[in-house]
């Protein structure tokens, strides 16, 4: 097993599909893009297909995995081989998602991440 850790943004809305082998199983498919190294003018975005295989998790996350959503993630790299219609051998790499966290959206007014609301406690309420 090859574990992958990364950061990226969804290039389009995720797609909730029904498994061909078992109609009760749902799969969430999406692609994540991440800019490579180099100067701003020469950076190219790399895209990789991703899937969430757990039906309940796929159904619950489908509404949140929209174009532009930022994620920090870990998962398993899976490479599959197949033949296209012309008989050419092809390979496809995808990440089977494990854990992830959403990247906070940037505040459009100043370009910095939105700040989470904080609550101040009086000194006498702190339990340590």
Tens-digit pLDDT profile for residues 58-114: 999 999 999 999 999 999 999 999 999 999 999 999 999 999 999 987 655 555 455
What was the pLDDT predicted at 35? 82
CA distances from 30 to 16, 49, 114, 120 (A): 9, 6, 25, 39
Q: What are phi and psi of 94, to 5 degrees?
A: -150, 160
Q: What are phi and psi of 61, to 5 degrees?
A: -90, -15
User: Which pairs from 50-54 meet CB under 8 Å and 24+ separation?
Assistant: 50/75, 50/94, 50/95, 50/96, 50/97, 51/27, 51/94, 51/95, 51/96, 51/97, 52/27, 52/28, 52/96, 52/97, 53/25, 53/27, 53/96
What was the pLDDT predicted at 41? 77
**What is the pLDDT confidence band of residue 119, given thresholds at 50, 70 and 90?**
very low
Tens-digit pLDDT profile for residues 28-41: 999 999 887 777 77
Q: DSSP assignment, residue 103? A: P
What was the pLDDT predicted at 111? 53
């Amino acid at each position: 097993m090859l574990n992958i850790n990364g950061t990226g943004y969804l290039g389009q809305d995720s797609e909730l599909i029904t498994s061909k082998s078992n109609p009760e199983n749902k799969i969430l498919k999406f692609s994540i893009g991440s800019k490579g190294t180099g100067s701003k003018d020469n950076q190219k975005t790399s895209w990789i297909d991703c899937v969430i295989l757990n039906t309940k998790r796929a159904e619950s996350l489908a509404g949140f995995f929209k174009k532009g959503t930022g994620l920090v993630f870990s998962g398993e790299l899976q490479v599959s081989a197949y033949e296209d219609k012309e008989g050419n051998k092809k390979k496809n790499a995808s990440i089977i998602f494990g854990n992830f966290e959403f990247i906070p959206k940037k505040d459009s007014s100043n370009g910095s991440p939105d700040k989470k609301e904080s609550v101040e406690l009086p000194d006498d309420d702190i339990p340590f």
